[in-house]
């Protein structure tokens, strides 16, 4: 798993944000820890951020790096907050084979927390669907990226 063990710790240190496992467990709720640090997935249609339509920004729940502007959020009908584009220098991706087929995993560029996956079935102008776990995000109303 990409985010478990020393690889994730080394990458996070290289990006200027490092906590040990005990600090992550103290900082995050059990569900946020499972998603962000263990690449888990929250149940669909459970995130209050699905109904969040105010102007603002969505940041990493682990390190508060701004990730998505509210203007790029849309209702994908999948049960997870979805965006058609991240902010510049906010996320990184890598291919995971967790389900046997390749998927593109999305994680926070700074703390390397697992956010969700990106798919090629989104709306214009990018055609991308960044399908994010709501528990991995924090919403800041009225703020700009």
Active site residues: 131
Residue 57 bridge partners (DSSP):
69, 140
C-alpha span between 71 and 56 (Å, rounded): 8
Place of tokens 């203007």: 71
- 94 neighbors 108 (Cβ within 8 angstroms): no
Q: Please report which residue ranges of the chain form alpha helices under DSSP H.
A: 5-14, 21-27, 30-38
C-alpha span between 51 and 45 (Å, rounded): 10
Q: What is the CA radius of gyration of the chain?
A: 14
Q: Please report which residue ranges of 49-136 form alpha helices under DSSP H.
A: none
């Amino acid at each position: 798993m990409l985010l478990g063990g020393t690889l994730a710790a080394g990458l996070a240190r290289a990006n200027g944000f490092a906590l040990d496992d005990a600090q992550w467990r103290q900082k995050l709720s059990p569900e946020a820890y499972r998603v962000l640090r263990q690449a888990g997935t929250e149940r669909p249609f459970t995130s209050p951020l699905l109904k969040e339509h105010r102007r603002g920004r969505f940041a990493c729940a682990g390190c508060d790096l701004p990730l998505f502007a509210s203007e790029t959020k849309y209702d994908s009908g999948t049960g997870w907050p979805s965006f058609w584009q991240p902010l510049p220098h906010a996320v990184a991706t890598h291919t995971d084979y967790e389900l046997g087929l390749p998927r593109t995993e999305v994680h926070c560029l700074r703390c390397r927390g697992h956010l969700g996956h990106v798919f090629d079935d989104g709306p214009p102008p990018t055609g991308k669907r960044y399908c994010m776990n709501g528990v991995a995000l924090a919403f800041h109303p009225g703020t700009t990226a």
